[in-house]
Structure 1
């Protein structure tokens, strides 16, 4: 057992009466006490060990000493991580390296308005990309990666952790419900001819986006109060655990049901329903159009048919991406509601915990996959993407020539 591990074990297992722990000429006494007025006992009476402990504690205040030893020992513990955590440690940095630039480029390219999309569609897609970018920042970088690689950074103070978790739930809800509103917009544009001119406008899209973000913010305000400190070191609260009464308090149970219905149950139902109605309408319209034309050979060059095909491909790709990558999270939410399971557990031998971690990984991946969908489904977006990637190199070559 290493010295650091030995100290950490002693911190957890023994206490001693409050006393001076270093010589008077280098006095750095502990002014902080525990709930019983006692201090962690970090001494060992064995010969040769006392001076090591005195030296370490004399140099560092207690909470800084514990934090630094955790940081130094963290890399040596990686090989002992559960398989799930090791997978997360590899996947999340890669996800951040891909997701942040991808969403930034999507926002820039779509904002130029050169992809052949209407202003209404562009508004929704830019809003979705912005929400996905925020998911990458708050959820993947500041939460997942920080929790794995920097477990005792200031981001893990309970007060900071609460704010970050509240923002995570907020941006995730925005991302989910913006996908729903985009699906609704395409349903109205394709299936509701009379309502199309009034609803499918840039102004209406902006109003819908602001409304979704505002309601998502209000709905996630209680999240801040849902968590309590996981550890208290030197009177400093660390990390966030779900409150012990969260699954027994009637108010929190009601909130959990409401939150689960709003995300992800309702979006799943609405997306399935709207897509089914949209596909049925397109198939019926195509049959009628073929009958009127009376010549199957003309269908291949029919611009209306091509536009409908592109619309349905884009719609189904975005909606299907959401459904597939959120499916595991939906299943876990159902398990929490009907089984004796809880969120944010750390028992990696439990199948429910593994399901939750895998679901969150897929859910986070959905926040960077839309760029791939646009690149595959939209020729003009793909061209603009290539031009954006090439532009720095083109500029460098021009400067070198001059």
Structure 2
């Protein structure tokens, strides 16, 4: 598609993808939580580090390898088999892991705040490590059925990866509702319920700001995609051309996707806004990096020092060893 014929939605998505890649600081978040003292429990530290990793995978698989490549190549590598069929396994696997890590973080914090007897068994680094591992494994296992939802076709002198029009409608509906239930409805219900109980029962409101901010931002940024994916996959629109932006549903669906993906790049900024200790450690890291960079720029290179000493020695024999 030439620049003159680009739909404004395509331009907006390209700008959004670039912004997400440039603004994402998940690696910095991971390192700060891991190496600095942010006054978090050990189990919470593991969950937040895992969320950073899962969000990075979402950005890599969906933003970089799928969406960005889509707008820079006529026939991306995932237009061909087996990548066309495998693509959604990695996409949904990463997205599901990111979603359920937020859910278990919400559960873990609720237990830590309200259930002291269970806290010693559940809110431990060992339990957190096993839970995180299980979430990554099962998130990708549950995404395997998507292997049969896409197919590679050659139309209009171009190879494309599209929703499989020959897939049985019962299989597609089952797949869509299963994904919707496990990635949106169940997580939304759990998060809303536990956050509501936490805010109702907890007098120390400041201690739950991070929990509520992370979980509720995930919900608000994901709800549009949840609704549009249900409409696209369970109606006759399933076979429509997803690149045709004359269809309003495509504009709504891609807007929902952009909002949902922005959550994967936003968590560090949520931590900075809500956690004073994290903000202090972040600023300390920035100052440390700047000071080291300044020292590297101001230190005289060894070869210049050697030349200077040699020059002085030639003029003053007493300086010669």
**2:307 equivalent in structure 1:** none
- Aligned residue in 1 for 2:270: 373
Matched, 1:311 2:207: yes
Higher RCO, Cα 8 Å, sep 6+:
2
Deviations 1:151-181 (A, max 9, x none): 3243443322333332111000000010000
Give the CA RMSD over aligned residues.
Answer: 2.0
Kindly tell me the number of residue pairs found equivalent between the two proteins.
Answer: 298
- TM-score when scaled to structure 2? 0.87
Question: Residue deviations 1:174-208, cap 9 Å, x none?
Answer: 00010000000111111212111111111111111
Q: Secondary structure at the match of 2:237?
A: coil
**Quick one: which of 276, 280, 288 aligns to 2:196?**
276
Runs of 4+ in 1 over 6 A off after TM superposition: none
Deviations 1:308-327 (A, max 9, x none): 33322111110111111011
Deviation at 1:377, TM superposition (A): 0.9
**Residue in structure 1 matched with residue 60 of structure 2 by the alignment:** 137
1:150 equivalenced with 2:73 (yes/no): yes
| 2:188 corresponds to 1:265 | no
Q: Residue 360 of structure 1 is aligned with which of 257, 260, 273?
A: 257
Q: Deviations over 1:53-90 (max 9, x none)?
A: xxxxxxxxxxxxxxxxxxxxx5xx12212221111011
Q: In the superposition, relative to structure 1, how do residues 151 and 380 fare at CA in structure 2: closer, same or farther (>3 Å)?
A: farther
Query: Alpha-carbon deviation of 1:142?
Result: 0.8
CA 1:241–1:155: 2 relative to 1, 3 Å: closer
After TM superposition, give the deviation of residue 354 of structure 1 in Å: 1.0
TM-score, with normalisation over the residues of structure 1? 0.70
Task: Give the deviation of 1:355 after TM superposition.
Answer: 1.0
**2:245 matched residue in structure 1:** 348
More off after superposition, 386-395 vs 123-132: 386-395
Residues 176-191 of structure 1: pairs in structure 2 closer than 5 A: 176-191=99-114
**Aligned counterpart in structure 1 of residue 283 of structure 2, from 362, 383, 386:** 386
Return the alpha-carbon distance in structure 2 between the equivalents of residues 309 and 171 of structure 1.
32
Asked if structure 2 preserves the Cα contact closer than 8 Å seen for 1:310 and 1:377, the reply is no
Q: Is the 8 A contact 2:93 2:140 kept in 1?
A: yes
Residues 129 and 192 of structure 1: CA distance in aligned 2, closer, same or farther (over 3 Å): same
**Aligned counterpart, 1:97:** 22
> How does 1:2-401 map onto structure 2 within 5 Å?
74=1, 77-99=2-24, 102-231=25-154, 238-246=159-167, 248-282=168-202, 286=203, 308-336=204-232, 339-342=235-238, 345-401=242-298
Gaps of 5+ in 1: 1-73, 287-307
Larger radius of gyration: 1
Which segments of 5 or more consecutive residues in structure 2 lack a partner in the other structure?
Answer: 300-321
* Equivalent-residue separation in structure 1 for 2:156 and 2:224 (angstroms): 36
- Give the CA deviation at 1:376: 0.9
User: Cα offset for 1:381?
Assistant: 1.1
Q: Kindly tell me: are residues 279 and 309 of structure 1, through their superposed partners in 2, closer, same or farther at Cα, counting changes over 3 Å?
A: closer
